[in-house]
Amino acid sequence: MPKKLYSDIYDTLKQEINKQVYQPRNTLPGEEELASRFDVTRNTVRRALKELQSDGLVYAVKGRGVVVLEPIRDDRVVFQADNTEGFEALRNFPQNKFIQRLSTDVLTFEEVEVDEELEKLTSFNTGDVAYFVERLRLFDGKALAVDNSYFRKSLLGDMTREDAEKSIYEYIRDNGLFKIAAERSTTTVESATKRDLQVLDVGDMNCVGALTKFVYTDTGRLFEHTQTRYVPNHFSMVDFKSF
Amino acid sequence: MPKKLYSDIYDTLKQEINKQVYQPRNTLPGEEELASRFDVTRNTVRRALKELQSDGLVYAVKGRGVVVLEPIRDDRVVFQADNTEGFEALRNFPQNKFIQRLSTDVLTFEEVEVDEELEKLTSFNTGDVAYFVERLRLFDGKALAVDNSYFRKSLLGDMTREDAEKSIYEYIRDNGLFKIAAERSTTTVESATKRDLQVLDVGDMNCVGALTKFVYTDTGRLFEHTQTRYVPNHFSMVDFKSF
DNA sequence: GAGTGGTCTAGACCACGGT
DNA sequence: CCGTGGTCTAGACCACTCC
């Protein structure tokens, strides 16, 4: 007795595509046919198909059908940092083979008041109090990334360095503070700063990747601003778009 | 007499959010209310709201309502290369102030046969014939990026260097070959290669950003593999996710 | 308990692709 | 022409948040 029909259909179809029951470049059965197979309406089937499409597995063409896309090879990716909760999320990701080898050092933990310059960076308001947390991300003991985060104190209450050393998102959940709703992020490549060279194992590289992330609570409040700076050659971000 | 109701509603609400008719952190009117205002069903309103949500403007919370998210500042972005048709698309983007200052040089244009190594890179099949095109992207005469592209010849027919010098996507449209359906991309930071140093104005930087892109036709065929390698500090990619 | 968004049904008509 | 996906209606029930 499943709760979400469309997500069951999604799972089933996804498996069948992976098992090549439906082969690349062929079309799936029509929506009407799928509807009667799963004993739901067309709308519900469409919902499942839309998910498959946003995963990049299929593509719907009016008048022709839903086409299965050819798969691509994907060996060289070290791991996909797909802009979620950051490194904590990677650790909980079941497919991730690297979990054991990841660790975190909190280098800095302090309260700061938002001035004009910081307002420009974080989009918080001048006068707000924020926690500044600098966390070093280690992989096999090598410093591969550093997170510079600002969190609005008014939303977090009194947090300690120890909380930050575990997981801030865990702290939020455990204290039932709010839910994370959404995030906006931008990716750039930048010159390494003095601080980067100090704390990161960049080797002889003189630039870093930067992932700047704004995180919202479910009441629409900007809650976190984090810039992750990471050394080259170890990370990759994936994305899919259909037109 | 609009053709797509939901997209009209989307436009209207988007404007009203920008004009602060609905203020950040407040909720929009309920779906029922919006439905009667626009004289459509709730489903159609929901469709528009979903678009707004994937734009990162609002976020829906069950039991509470649709919350308007706080806007963020976004000055420092040079331009958004959001994985579209590449540089040609940027040129056609109306908001882009940099159009005049962009130009392209085709450095290499040749046919190659796909061997095992190239199959690994492109996911094309061994034995396929592909066009290899190396295009230098200039901004104010500075070489800021280079595209290394492979196109399946079987899908393109006989293309000339001149076609590549204009726009390959224009060539496809003009000849009515097929439609572009979707693309998958990954972003990484990599060490600069000898070739990068040769053709790009990297200055004293020794690494580059790399955007690797797989493009599909609407029949589900992998058609293009492009790796864009760009110098640091000039580009940014934006993204939005909701949970 | 009242009001919100989330899921689903059972229809309908249209635009488009292929024959 | 027929079959496909795209849009839309008019209902229904549920889960959740807030008072």
pLDDT digits (tens, 9 = 90+) for B32-75: 999 999 999 999 999 999 999 988 889 898 888 999 988 765 54
B73-87: per-residue pLDDT in tens?
A: 554 434 444 444 455
How far in angstroms lies nucleotide D16's C1' from the CA of residue B105? 57
Q: SS in 3 state form for B99-149?
A: HHHEEEEEEEEEEEECCHHHHHHHCCCCCCEEEEEEEEEEECCEEEEEEEE
pLDDT value, residue A165 = 83
Residues on chain A touching B77 (C-beta within 8 angstroms):
186
Question: DSSP 3-state assignment of B126?
Answer: coil
This prediction has a pTM of 0.79
Average pLDDT over residues B205-214: 89
Greatest Cα-to-Cα distance within chain B, rounded to the nearest angstrom: 63
Whole-number percent of chain A with pLDDT over 70: 83
Q: Is the pLDDT of residue A84 over 60?
A: no
A30: the nucleotide nearest its CA (via C1') is D4
pLDDT value, residue A93 = 41
Chain B, 49 to 68: residues with Cβ < 8 Å from chain A are 53, 56, 58-59, 61, 64, 67-68
Average pLDDT over residues A124-153: 89
Instruction: Report the gap between the CA of B225 and the closest CA in chain A (Å).
Output: 10
Is some CB atom of chain B closer than 8 A to the CB atom of A155? no
Average pLDDT over residues A73-94: 45
pLDDT value, residue A54 = 86
Closest chain B CA to residue A121: B73
Q: How confident is the model at residue A100 (pLDDT cuts 50, 70, 90)?
A: low
Question: Chain D: nucleotides under 7 Å from a protein CB?
Answer: 3-12, 15-18
Is some CB atom of chain A closer than 8 A to the CB atom of B218? yes
B160-192: per-residue pLDDT in tens?
A: 898 888 778 777 777 767 777 778 777 888 899
pLDDT value, residue A75 = 43
A171-199: per-residue pLDDT in tens?
A: 877 777 777 777 877 788 889 999 999 99
DSSP state letter for B30? P
Token pair 């678009």: residue: B51
Residues on chain A touching B227 (C-beta within 8 angstroms):
none
B6-15: per-residue pLDDT in tens?
A: 999 999 999 9
How far in angstroms lies nucleotide D3's C1' from the CA of residue B211? 39
How wide is the angle at C-alpha B36 spanned by C-alphas B35 and B39, nearest 5°?
Answer: 85
For residue B12, give both structure tokens: 């209207």
C-alpha distances in Å from residue B38, one per residue of B13, B17, B26, B32, B46: 11, 16, 20, 10, 12
A41-72: per-residue pLDDT in tens?
A: 999 999 999 999 988 889 998 888 999 988 76
pLDDT value, residue A82 = 43
Is some CB atom of chain A closer than 8 A to the CB atom of B207? yes
pLDDT value, residue A79 = 41
For residue A109, give both structure tokens: 């933990």
pLDDT value, residue A77 = 39
Q: Is the pLDDT of residue A30 over 60?
A: yes
pLDDT value, residue B232 = 86
Q: Are B59 and B242 in contact (CB under 8 A)?
A: yes
pLDDT value, residue A212 = 84
